[in-house]
Each structure stands twice: as C-alpha cells, then as structure tokens.
C-alpha cells in the first residue's frame, strides 16, 4: 500500500551532536533507522498524551536491557517462580498416529499461571518497579494475560486493574475468578463486540487518563513502539530454549515450527531465534473461526489490509470505509482483528507463513492431543495442533516439527463441555 | 480559506457526523454557525475511538450503525461550505479511515470540499511525514494535539508542524465533561505561548458557560465537543434548535472582537 505514513527525520542526540551542541554548533538532524518499525509496519499511532510515557518506557527498557542486575533478577524469577526452562517433549503417540514428521511439543503450558504470558508479565513488572509506578492496568482476552498480570502484581505489590470484554468474561469465567482471587479488579467492557479489542480500547482510555501513575502492561506484540519489540524480547526465551533443546535431542534443527497467532506473542517468541535459520519453516496459525466471511473469523492474512489499530500499523480486518471489523473465534485469545507488526513484516518478506485453522479443527485437535498425549491444550494452542495434524502426515519421517503449546486448557473446560459431546 | 478566530475567545464546536443522521448533522452545524461558532470540527465516527469518552463513543456507534463514512463526511463538508463561507471547517478523524481512503486522495477531496484543516487524533508528529506533505500540497492546515504530558521539546515540534492553531488538551484523559478543569490547561497554554505565535485552542472537558469563560480568559479559542454531542443525544427531534440554544448560552460571554487570526 502506498499510503504508509513514515517519519523522514528523527533527531537523535548522538555523542557527536551533543558535543557539537556544547561547542555552540547547531545540532544536526541525523537520519536513523526508525525504532519500532518492522519493514513498513509498526510505529506509534497514539494520542499525544501517551507519547511521553512511551518514550519513558522505551528509555527505561533500553537501560534495563543492558543492566545485568535486571537481567539476573528476571532470569531468577523465570526459573524459580515461573518454572523455566519448560520441557521440549517428544509426542510419540501423536507422531505415530499422524504417521509423518517427528512431533515435539514446547510445553509453555507448564508454566506458572498456565501459559507463556508470564514471561512478559515478569519482565514488564520489573520495569514498573524501576519506573517507580504502583498501578498496573492490562487487557485480557482469554484471561491468560490477565491472570499472569494479576499474579505478578500480587508478587510485587502493585494495584492491578484488568479490562475484559463481557463476552470473554462469560466464556472464560474461571479466569475472571482467578484474577479476583489474586486481588485484581476485573472491569467488564460492554462496548463493541465485548472482546479483546474492546478491552484494549478501554485499557488505553484508562492509561491516557492515569498515565502519570500507571503502567499499561500490554500482553502481546501489539500496540505502539516499544511494545512489539519489548514483549517479543521477553518471550524470546521460548525459542532460545527450544533451539538448544532440539539440537540436543535430535542433533539438528527442525523442519518447521508451528504456533498460534492472536496478537502473536507466543509465536514471535518461539520463531525469533530461528529466523536466521533460513531452512526452518515458520508457520503461524490464525483463527479461521466458523467461515470465510468478514466477521466470522480472525484470520488477518485472509482478507485483512494494512491499517492502523490501537497504536500500530499492521494487517487489520476492516471494511471498505476503514472501520474495524468484528471477529469471531472459539478461542478468546485469537479473537482479534489485527496482528503484531513483526508478523506482517515476516509474512511480506516470505520468511513466515500464516494459515488458518477453524473452530471445529481446533476443537478436534484438543481432543486428539488429550487422548494421544494426555495434554489438554488451551483452545488457542489447539489451533497450532490442528495445523500439525494437517501437515505432519505430508512430511518425511526423518523431519522434525515443533509445536508451541502456549497454554493449557483448564480455562476452557466450560467451552469444551459446550462444544464437545463427551459422555 | 484560512482558519479565522473572529472573536476572543473563539468558539470551536465539535459534532460526531451522522448522529443521528447526516441530514440532521447538517442542520445542527448550520444552526451552530448561526449561533456564533467560529470553527466547526466535523468528527468522523470510528469503530474504536480510544481517545473518546462514553458520550462520543455512543454517538460514534449510532452514526456507524447506519454506515456513516469519511467519504460522506467530506460530502457534508462541501454542502456546509456552500452555506457558510467564513466559518473554519476541520475534519476530526482517527487515522485508519483516512488510510483506507488514501492519504493523497483524502487531502485532495477535502480541499475540493472547502475544508480548511484536519486533526488526526492518533497521528503524532513523528509519524506525520507523508500526511504533512499531502496536507501542504493541498493547502490544508494540519492541527496537532498538545498535551500536558508533552515535554517542551515535543511542544516545539507540534507547534512547528501545526497550522491555523494548536489544539491544547486541557488534561490527561479522554474526551468528556469534568466538574473542574485542572490547572494543567493554563500551564500548558503558557508553555505553548513560549514556543509559538499560533493561536491556541483548548479542548476536552469544557461543558458550561462558566468553564467557557474561565478557559477563554487564557486561550484564544475554546473547543466544546462532548457537551454538544450530549445535547444532541438528549434532544431527539429538535437537535439543531437545542444546539443553537446551547451555543448561544456559551458564546454570550464572548463579545469582544479580536484581531488574532491564524
């Protein structure tokens, strides 16, 4: 699309420029690679009131990244509190059943709070501490990010408010209770389709109002810079571990990695350290929902167009007038009309491939994984399992594929009971 | 036509176009102009108005229910322009509908419609390169928001990129009425005066004649939005008349002529 808004000049106070300024020379505007851009995607499209807070967050994050003490503390919490490293498990019976590639499961579902979301929450919570803020807000779809946020707020003693669409509160009521048990306030959002997108709108409204005292703990690789980069960095550990684990187990890299993509945090987390391994196929699975009509799915690469939603430029499901479309998925965590900007760039560059899995396929995959491996995946992760069911039989037995089981299915028991006829 | 503030303080009126329908919006706007509005902000309804409070959210939902689009708002602007030669017209929108239409096409159509300026809520100066080019090429005034949280360096950038006037947000938060106006607003205007000669309009949360007078004491113009939209919501069937009464009540305090122009 030709209408990508781009900044042309950014003033960066390089050392030379600072010295020049000190010596009475005018500061020279320097052309620099734009931070927060992935190809043409990403950027910062927010009301002016939030710009200073995003700058502060970016500065603080850059400092923390280089601070060994910060990294050590995060590593220790990931190990002793969250339960890292997570195992890479060989799914023997599933492999046999599908009769193709060897399937490994990256077990993010075994983490504390039941999903990968805790990786990012611990990272951002330590940043909140550094910034001296005491109030944390978050949005949640499936409730996994909300629970992880409520958890780290309890751990570090922050006030916590979680915004959640009332439709999602209904279908993920167990997680609503968990958040409240953890001391968080859950605020129902009645606007729009009453799902994740609307929860983010409301969280942004809270942030724009209370920005001086509040940190917005965004739960995916979405939103304005620095979120997509920062959240990805906090989840990189998934791919870093998986890469070392598969090399140890198989002595070679996998042919493919499969992960579900809502905003895209678990997928970018497991993809990232494999991007340089050009032979490893990276496959993201979007929510195919109940059909191909706009409004019946959340497959952004099937019908979405580049646009701006909630702070970032990426693929967006929208109508011909630029209004954001409603979406549908059986899994609340994938039910979102846009996708992380880095995924859009990976897709345009041909480095990653994105395919849909339908509600029915995801439900079927849930039962299959439960009965072959004794693992009940979250409905989100079940979309990735559904793709391996299609793909593994077509692959050679000597090939290896890793599926990221980003979360566990306990939270979905209610929906599973509604949808699966099990006596 | 340049944006002109005929009186001090001037009155800028915001409406969400298409609420309750475009024909009524047209009547409301013409009535507001007749009653003394100097500049009209034509709000383009958007599905995800993150910068707006409940009143404008509800209005946007109503307008979108019957498919109000940016293209229709531009047509409405052209109609209004035919009836009101000397009133400033500003398109007030979120970015995505503009991107969908295409930045260049949007600016060309807006100019042709007789629009004077554009304010894009979720487009900060850093991301505005192509936008500013297209605006300049069509002789349209880009108006940017300045916030109490904007450091001085940003205020400078904002003022440098703006034409016509700078829109100072009275406080952190979304649009909508507040009982009291924070001291934030006056401080921000004072900071803006140091970096720009452009007139400063203050908006967000101004809903009464008393607040209008208070803000008018230190700003060149006062923006009233949610209070107008709420008046429309509350007066089904007599929207234009109700808005005219409301505007008369507000601008009764602003008589003095002012030489200040943009």
DSSP type of residue B18: T
Q: Could you list the active site residues of A?
A: 117, 139, 406
pTM: 0.92
Contact B48, A309 (CB under 8 A): yes
Q: Is the minimum CB–CB distance between A8 and chain B shorter than 8 Å?
A: yes
Interface of A with B in 167-196 (CB under 8 A): 191-192
The contacts found for B22-29 with CB under 8 angstroms, 24 or more apart, are: B22/B68, B22/B72, B22/B76, B24/B239, B24/B240, B25/B76, B26/B76, B26/B79, B26/B80, B27/B239, B27/B240, B28/B232, B28/B239, B28/B240, B28/B243, B29/B80, B29/B84
The residues facing A307 across adjacent strands are: A314
Average pLDDT of chain A is 92
pLDDT tens-digit profile of A138-171? 999 989 999 999 999 999 999 999 999 999 999 8
Residue A311 has what pLDDT?
97
User: Which stretch of DSSP H or E encloses residue B20?
Assistant: none
What residues of chain A lie within 8 A of the CB of B126, using their CB? 7, 10, 44, 51
Cis preceding-peptide flag for A411 (omega within 30 of 0): no
Q: Which of B83, B92, B1, B107 minimizes the C-alpha distance to B40?
A: B92
A37 phi, psi to nearest 5 deg: -105, 135
Residue A21 has what pLDDT?
38
Q: Which residue has the higher pLDDT, B116 or A15?
A: B116
What residues of chain A lie within 8 A of the CB of B135, using their CB? none
For residue A366, the distance in angstroms to the closest alpha carbon of chain B comes to 33
Q: Is the minimum CB–CB distance between B150 and chain A shorter than 8 Å?
A: yes
- Is the CA virtual torsion A167, A170, A174, A177 positive or negative? positive
Q: Is the minimum CB–CB distance between B254 and chain A shorter than 8 Å?
A: no
Residue A359: count other Cβ atoms within 10 Å of its Cβ.
23
Interface of B with A in 45-64 (CB under 8 A): 46-53, 57, 61, 64
Percentage of chain B lying above the pLDDT 90 cut:
87
Kindly give the interhelix angle for A379-391 and A359-373, rounded to the nearest 10 degrees.
80
Does the beta-carbon distance from A321 to B100 stay under 8 Å? yes
For residue A204, the distance in angstroms to the closest alpha carbon of chain B comes to 6
List CB contacts of A265: < 8 A, sequence separation 6 or more.
Answer: A116, A117, A120, A219, A220, A221, A231, A232, A235, A340
pLDDT tens-digit profile of A234-258? 999 999 999 999 999 999 999 999 9
Q: Is the minimum CB–CB distance between B121 and chain A shorter than 8 Å?
A: yes
Does the beta-carbon distance from B151 to A204 stay under 8 Å? no
Q: Could you list the active site residues of B?
A: 41, 52
pLDDT tens-digit profile of B164-222? 999 999 989 898 877 777 688 999 999 999 999 999 999 999 999 999 999 999 999 99
Does the beta-carbon distance from B146 to A318 stay under 8 Å? no
Does the beta-carbon distance from B99 to A192 stay under 8 Å? no
Does the pLDDT value for residue A6 go beyond 60?
no
Contact A64, A335 (CB under 8 A): no
The token pair that represents B188 in the structure block = 């921000």
Kindly give the interhelix angle for A227-250 and A118-131, rounded to the nearest 10 degrees.
140
Which of A207, A318, A323 is the best mutation test for B, with the most CBs of B within 10 A? A323
Q: Which residue has the higher pLDDT, A397 or B173?
A: A397
For residue B139, the distance in angstroms to the closest alpha carbon of chain A comes to 19
When pLDDT is averaged across residues B57-80 and rounded to a whole number, the result is 97
pLDDT tens-digit profile of A105-117? 999 999 999 999 9
What is this model's ipTM? 0.94
* Closest chain A residue to the Cα of B150, Cα to Cα: A52
Residue A9's pLDDT band (cuts 50, 70, 90): very low
Residue B180 has what pLDDT?
72
When pLDDT is averaged across residues A329-346 and rounded to a whole number, the result is 96
> From the list A5, A191, A208, which residue is nearest B129 (CB)?
A5
* Closest chain B residue to the Cα of A46, Cα to Cα: B122
The residues facing B89 across adjacent strands are: B40
pLDDT tens-digit profile of A276-291? 999 999 999 999 999 9
Does the beta-carbon distance from B147 to A7 stay under 8 Å? no
Average pLDDT of chain B is 93
Which of B92, B128, B152, B172 is the best mutation test for A, with the most CBs of A within 10 A? B172
Does the pLDDT value for residue A260 go beyond 50?
yes
Interface of A with B in 259-298 (CB under 8 A): none
pLDDT tens-digit profile of B90-104? 999 999 999 999 999
> From the list B101, B103, B123, which residue is nearest A45 (CB)?
B123
pLDDT tens-digit profile of A163-197? 999 999 998 888 999 999 999 999 999 988 899 99
Residue A33 has what pLDDT?
52
What residues of chain A lie within 8 A of the CB of B150, using their CB? 48-49, 51-52
Contact A216, A203 (CB under 8 A): yes
Residue boundaries of the structural domains of chain B: 10-254
For residue B84, the distance in angstroms to the closest alpha carbon of chain A comes to 27
Cα-based angle A299, A179, B50 (whole degrees, multiple of 5):
50
Residue B7's pLDDT band (cuts 50, 70, 90): confident
Which CATH code is given to the segment(s) B10-254? 3.20.20.70
């Amino acid at each position: 699309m030709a209408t990508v808004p781009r900044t042309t000049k950014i003033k960066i106070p390089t050392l030379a420029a600072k010295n020049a300024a000190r010596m009475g020379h005018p500061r020279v505007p320097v052309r620099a690679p734009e931070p927060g851009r992935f190809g043409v995607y990403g950027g910062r499209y927010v009301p002016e009131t939030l710009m200073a807070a995003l700058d502060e967050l970016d500065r603080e994050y850059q400092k923390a990244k280089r601070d060994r003490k910060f990294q050590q503390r995060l590593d220790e919490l990931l190990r002793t509190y969250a339960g890292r490293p997570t195992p890479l498990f060989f799914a023997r019976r599933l492999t046999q059943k599908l009769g193709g590639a060897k399937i490994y499961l990256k077990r993010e579902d075994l983490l504390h709070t039941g999903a990968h979301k805790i990786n990012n929450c611990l990272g951002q919570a330590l940043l909140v501490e550094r910034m001296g803020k005491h109030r944390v807000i978050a949005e949640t779809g499936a409730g996994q990010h909300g629970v992880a946020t409520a958890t780290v707020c309890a751990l570090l003693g922050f006030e916590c408010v979680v915004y959640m669409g009332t439709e999602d509160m209904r279908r993920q009521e167990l997680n609503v209770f968990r958040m409240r048990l953890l001391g968080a306030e859950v605020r129902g959002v009645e606007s729009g389709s009453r799902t994740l997108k609307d929860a983010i709108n409301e969280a942004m409204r809270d942030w724009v109002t209370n920005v001086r005292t509040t940190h917005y703990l965004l739960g995916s690789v979405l939103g304005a810079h620095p979120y997509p980069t920062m959240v990805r960095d906090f989840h990189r550990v998934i791919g870093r571990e998986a890469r070392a684990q598969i090399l140890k187990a198989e002595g070679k890299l996998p042919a493919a990695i499969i992960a579900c993509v809502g905003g895209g945090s678990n997928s970018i987390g497991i993809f990232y350290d494999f991007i340089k391994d050009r032979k490893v196929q990276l496959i993201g699975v979007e929510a195919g929902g109940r059909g191909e009509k706009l409004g019946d799915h959340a497959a952004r690469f099937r019908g979405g167009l580049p646009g701006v939603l909630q702070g970032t430029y990426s693929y967006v499901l929208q109508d011909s007038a630029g209004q954001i479309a409603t979406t549908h998925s059986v899994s609340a965590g994938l039910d979102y009309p846009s996708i992380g900007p880095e995924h859009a760039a990976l897709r345009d560059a041909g480095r990653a491939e994105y395919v849909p899995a339908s509600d029915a396929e995801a439900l079927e995959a849930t039962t299959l994984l439960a009965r072959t491996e004794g693992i009940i995946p979250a409905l989100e992760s079940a979309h990735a399992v559904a793709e391996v069911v299609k793909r593994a039989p077509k692959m050679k037995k000597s090939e290896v594929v890793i599926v990221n089981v980003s979360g566990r299915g306990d939270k979905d028991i209610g929906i599973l009971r509604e949808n699966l006829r099990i006596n | 036509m340049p944006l002109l503030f005929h009186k001090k303080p001037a009155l800028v009126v915001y409406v969400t176009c298409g609420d309750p329908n475009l024909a009524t919006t047209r009547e409301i706007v013409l009535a507001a102009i007749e009653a003394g509005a100097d500049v009209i902000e034509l709000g383009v309804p958007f599905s995800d108005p993150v910068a707006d409070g409940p009143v404008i959210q509800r209005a946007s939902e109503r307008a979108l229910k019957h498919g109000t689009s940016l293209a229709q708002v531009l047509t409405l602007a052209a109609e209004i322009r035919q009836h009101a030669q000397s009133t400033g017209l500003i398109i007030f929108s979120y970015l995505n509908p503009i991107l969908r239409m295409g930045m260049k096409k949007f600016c060309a159509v807006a100019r042709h419609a007789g629009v004077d300026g554009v304010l894009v809520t979720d487009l900060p100066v850093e991301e505005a390169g192509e936008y500013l080019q297209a605006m300049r090429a069509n002789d349209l005034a880009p108006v940017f928001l300045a916030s109490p949280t904007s450091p001085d360096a940003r205020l400078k950038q904002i003022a440098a990129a703006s034409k016509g006037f700078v829109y100072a947000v009275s406080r952190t938060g979304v649009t909508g009425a507040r009982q009291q106006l924070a001291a934030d607003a006056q401080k921000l205007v004072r900071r803006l005066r140091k970096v720009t000669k452009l007139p400063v309009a203050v908006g967000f949360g101004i809903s009464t004649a008393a607040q209008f007078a208070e803000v008018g004491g230190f700003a060149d113009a006062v923006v009233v939005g949610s209070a107008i939209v709420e008046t429309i919501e509350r007066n089904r069937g007599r929207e234009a008349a109700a808005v005219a009464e409301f505007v008369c009540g507000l601008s009764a305090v602003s008589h003095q002529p002012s030489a200040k122009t943009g």
